[in-house]
């Protein structure tokens, strides 16, 4: 044996990168004030202590509970959060109507970090989440549909995706994306073999059997309902895309994403023909200047990014406030204006690295649930960033998704941090060396040959058939490391047949004959009984 490959903890690297990310966020904040008033803001040590406190708190909890977690995820997320906060603060300076959204967002960041810490402390074994796929599915669907309930739903900025509880408004779809990712992962762990079965072959594609199309049809209808009734293209794209991607990861069948894309394309085209608000979005995407007033927001975002150019105007020196909703949906445009396309590409890179680290954890995960959950969480971030930054830069029609960690909004921030907590827990389990050892084959027994006992004399006397679960106690029949068949006690006591092949050494002869403290049944017809 060459030894076992494992990963270093690298908590020192994490601490260093965390410090670097907080430095960058503070630089954005301080540069804004330096560029505008040539002096530092009086409260900057408070901001540094707040950000540093969150960073140190999370870092210490990770050191304590999940020391093998991925060292990059936390610094990257902190950097995005910090830059988002700096930009929201910068937008506050020119916003007389809501001049304290950065402080509010910082409060939410405390809540979100506390939620992440709670996940890390109380959920070290993420597999408990696997237990209730259908309940979670139902809960996720309910959350998704909640804004359609009359009296509870709230229409804001043309999309009915809010509910209001007392004085607070809340986006249930944000929580739904977490709940549904877990539900999809646990559902697909159970069903992936069935869904991977090929039905007919059409145009060189293995299509699934028609009766296995049920789940994808349900998701398609729900996505269409969200698109039509809540007027929210982004949420509908996010959930359907997530489901299709996870189906693909689970089954490894390219027919699922092709089918999914075709279904979503058909549904979206149908919605385009039938509903005015979808047509508005598409025209704002393909030809924004046809109606300057209606597409004002998209046009201003384009002007902002163009004005920023390659290196940007500098923190605090642009005019990102002209774009409506610059703090939420269009924060990418505001950043593109002030730190330029160089900075915007850096931000997209950081998102890409977070997604890559999630997929890396999925590749390394030993259990299928961890694999699917990590891949699903990574894709939730990927789809959101692709849809919103693609929408802001007019690569895609604009969708009302949040920019994870950056845009203003409490429900999104808390959910995203909980997802990061889950991802960290999974990476800890993946990178921990003990998990590698446990997954190794039993080295000492692997080379041993199993002694064969001739059972033909025993087969003459009829025996009651063993219950099926005893024939194949764990795993598939060809599972080498699974339990070896055990021998009934009365067989051992009886005469050993003379034709018994003698094995090469005493050790193997002994090892293949299990001790019998409890009577377990080994049926003579074992091999025939297997499917």
Give the contact letters, 356-375, x = binds to other proteins (CB under 8 A), - = no.
x-------------------
Taking each helix axis as running N to C, give the angle between helix 368-392 and helix 410-431, from 0 to 180 degrees, rounded to the nearest 10: 140
Which residues lie across from 159 on neighbouring strands? 156
Q: Considering CB under 8 A, how many residues would be counted as binding other proteins?
A: 61
Stretch of residues binding other proteins (CB under 8 A), selected from 30-38, 54-62, 145-153, 396-404:
30-38
Stretch of residues binding other proteins (CB under 8 A), selected from 98-106, 266-274, 407-415, 513-521:
513-521
Residue 434 interacts with other proteins (CB under 8 A): yes or no: yes
Stretch of residues binding other proteins (CB under 8 A), selected from 1-9, 212-220, 237-245, 260-268:
1-9
Q: How far is CA 113 from CA 25, 43, 108, 352, 518, in A?
A: 17, 22, 8, 22, 51
Q: Output the six-digit token pair for 237.
A: 């794209």
User: Binding other proteins by CB under 8 A: which of 48, 50, 154, 511?
Assistant: 511
Stretch of residues binding other proteins (CB under 8 A), selected from 23-31, 174-182, 319-327, 367-375:
23-31
User: Residue 150, SS3?
Assistant: coil
User: Binding other proteins by CB under 8 A: which of 340, 391, 410, 421?
Assistant: 340
Q: Output the six-digit token pair for 24.
A: 């960058």
User: Binding other proteins by CB under 8 A: which of 483, 499, 525, 527?
Assistant: 483
Least distance (Å) between residue 309 CB and other proteins = 11
Residue 38 interacts with other proteins (CB under 8 A): yes or no: yes
For residues 143 and 217, give the distance between their C-alpha atoms in angstroms, rounded to a whole number: 19
DSSP β-ladder status, 198-202 and 153-156: unpaired
Give the contact letters, 297-326, x = binds to other proteins (CB under 8 A), - = no.
--------------xx-xx-x---------
User: Binding other proteins by CB under 8 A: which of 12, 200, 433, 497?
Assistant: 433
User: Binding other proteins by CB under 8 A: which of 12, 23, 122, 155?
Assistant: 23
User: Binding other proteins by CB under 8 A: which of 472, 486, 491, 521?
Assistant: 486
Q: How far is CA 114 from CA 50, 61, 104, 108, 122, in A?
A: 13, 11, 16, 10, 12
Please report which helix (H) or strand (E) contains residue 474, including its range: none
Least distance (Å) between residue 94 CB and other proteins = 18
Find the farthest-apart pair of alpha carbons in the chain and give their distance in angstroms, rounded: 99
Least distance (Å) between residue 434 CB and other proteins = 4
- Half-sphere exposure of residue 149, counting CA atoms within 13 Å on the CB side? 13
Residue 455 interacts with other proteins (CB under 8 A): yes or no: no
User: Binding other proteins by CB under 8 A: which of 118, 266, 306, 437?
Assistant: 437
Contacts of 415 (CB under 8 A, 6+ apart): 174, 175, 177, 178
Stretch of residues binding other proteins (CB under 8 A), selected from 31-39, 104-112, 200-208, 292-300:
31-39
For residues 388 and 331, give the distance between their C-alpha atoms in angstroms, rounded to a whole number: 10
DSSP 303-360: HHHHHHTTT-S-TTTS-GGGSTTTTTTTHHHHHHHHTHHHHHHHHHHHHHHHHHHHHH
Residues in contact with other proteins by CB under 8 A are: 1-8, 10, 13, 17, 20-21, 23-24, 27-28, 31, 34-35, 38, 71-72, 75-76, 79, 311-312, 314-315, 317, 339-340, 342-343, 346, 349-350, 353, 356, 431, 433-434, 437-438, 440, 442-445, 483-484, 486, 507, 510-511, 513-515, 517, 520
């Amino acid at each position: 044996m060459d030894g076992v490959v494992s990963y270093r903890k690298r908590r020192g690297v994490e601490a260093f990168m965390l410090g670097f990310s907080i430095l960058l966020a503070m630089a954005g904040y301080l540069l804004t004030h330096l560029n505008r008033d040539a002096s530092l803001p009086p409260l900057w040590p408070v901001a540094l202590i707040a950000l540093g406190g969150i960073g140190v708190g999370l870092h210490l909890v990770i050191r304590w509970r999940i020391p093998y977690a991925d060292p990059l995820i936390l610094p990257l997320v902190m950097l995005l959060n910090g830059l988002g906060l700096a930009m929201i603060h910068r937008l506050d300076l020119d916003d007389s109507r809501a001049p304290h959204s950065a402080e509010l967002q910082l409060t939410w960041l405390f809540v979100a970090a506390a939620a992440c810490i709670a996940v890390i402390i109380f959920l070290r074994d993420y597999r408990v989440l696997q237990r209730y796929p259908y309940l979670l599915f139902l809960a996720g669907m309910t959350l998704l549909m909640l804004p359609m309930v009359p009296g509870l739903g709230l229409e804001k900025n043309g999309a009915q995706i809010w509910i209001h509880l007392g004085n607070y408004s809340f986006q249930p779809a944000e929580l739904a994306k977490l709940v549904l990712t877990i539900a999809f992962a646990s559902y697909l762990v159970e069903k992936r073999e069935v869904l991977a079965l090929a039905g007919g072959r059409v145009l060189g594609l293995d299509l699934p059997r028609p009766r296995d199309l049920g789940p994808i049809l349900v998701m398609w209808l729900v996505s269409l309902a969200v698109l039509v009734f809540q007027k929210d293209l982004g949420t509908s794209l996010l959930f359907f895309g997530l489901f299709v991607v996870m189906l693909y990861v689970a089954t490894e069948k390219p027919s699922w994403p092709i089918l999914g894309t075709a279904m979503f394309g058909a549904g979206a085209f149908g919605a385009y023909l039938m509903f005015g608000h979808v047509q508005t979005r598409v025209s704002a995407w393909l030809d924004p200047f046809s109606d300057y007033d209606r597409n004002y927001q998209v046009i201003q975002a384009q002007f902002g990014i163009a004005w920023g150019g390659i290196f940007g105007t500098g923190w605090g020196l642009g005019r990102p406030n002209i774009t409506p909703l610059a703090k939420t949906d269009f924060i990418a445009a505001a950043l593109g204006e002030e730190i330029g396309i160089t900075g915007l590409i850096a931000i997209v890179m950081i998102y890409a690295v977070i997604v890559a680290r999630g997929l890396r954890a999925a590749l390394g995960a030993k259990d299928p649930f961890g694999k699917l959950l990590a891949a699903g969480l990574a894709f939730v971030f990927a789809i959101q960033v692709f849809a919103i930054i693609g929408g802001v830069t007019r690569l895609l029609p604009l969708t009302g998704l949040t920019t994870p960690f950056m845009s203003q909004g409490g429900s999104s921030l808390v959910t995203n941090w909980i997802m990061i907590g889950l991802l960290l827990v999974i990476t800890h389990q993946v990178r921990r060396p003990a998990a590698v050892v446990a997954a190794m084959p039993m080295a000492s027994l692997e080379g041993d040959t199993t002694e064969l006992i001739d059972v033909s004399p025993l087969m003459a006397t009829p025996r009651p058939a063993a219950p099926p679960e005893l024939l194949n106690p764990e795993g598939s029949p060809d599972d080498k490391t699974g339990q070896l068949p055990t021998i009934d006690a009365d067989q051992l006591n009886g005469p050993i047949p003379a034709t018994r092949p003698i094995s090469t050494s005493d050790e193997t002869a002994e090892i293949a004959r299990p001790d019998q403290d409890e009577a377990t049944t080994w049926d003579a017809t074992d091999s025939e009984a297997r499917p």
